[in-house]
Amino acid sequence: MHMTYKVTEEGNIATVFLNGEIDMDVTEKAKEVIMPLIEAKKEVHLNLKDVEYMDSSGISVLIESHQQATELGTKVILKEISKSVLKVIMMAKLEQILNLD
């Protein structure tokens, strides 16, 4: 199972809908999608409702995106987080750090 994604942009907000499994095989791809939006100083909303699985490499993408956005004065906000992703975020105690909507 691979990750698919769709990006919609409205004004300064870019919403990235991620779908499938986010693991080591797709982290580079996820970064290639997300990082340029952050570098363009967009506020990035990551919609995670269709993410069935995320491992620690997926989590590292969330952290890196968040740090990059903070440095550039913008934000990454996680939207509609699926139960399985939320579980991983809570286990890693990242709900304090990441912007969860």
Per-residue pLDDT, 55:
93
What CATH fold (topology level) applies to the domain 4-100?
Answer: Transcription Regulator spoIIAA (3.30.750)
Per-residue pLDDT, 1:
58
Per-residue pLDDT, 6:
97
Contact 40, 19 (CB under 8 A): no
pLDDT per position as a tens digit, 31-53: 999 999 999 999 999 999 999 99
Per-residue pLDDT, 2:
81
Per-residue pLDDT, 82:
97
Write down the pTM of the prediction.
Answer: 0.94
pLDDT per position as a tens digit, 55-90: 999 999 999 999 999 999 999 999 999 999 999 999
DSSP-derived 3-state class of residue 3: coil
C-alpha–C-alpha distance, residues 19 and 68, integer Å? 22
Domain positions in the chain are 4-100
Mean of per-residue pLDDT scores for the chain: 96
Burial of residue 83, with CB atoms counted within 10 A of its CB: 0-12 exposed, 13-18 middle, 19 or more buried = exposed
Helices (H), ranges, 1-101: 27-39, 56-71, 83-91
With CA atoms as reference, report the closest residue to 2 among 36, 30, 34, 33: 30
- φ, ψ of residue 23 to 5 degrees: the values are -135, -170
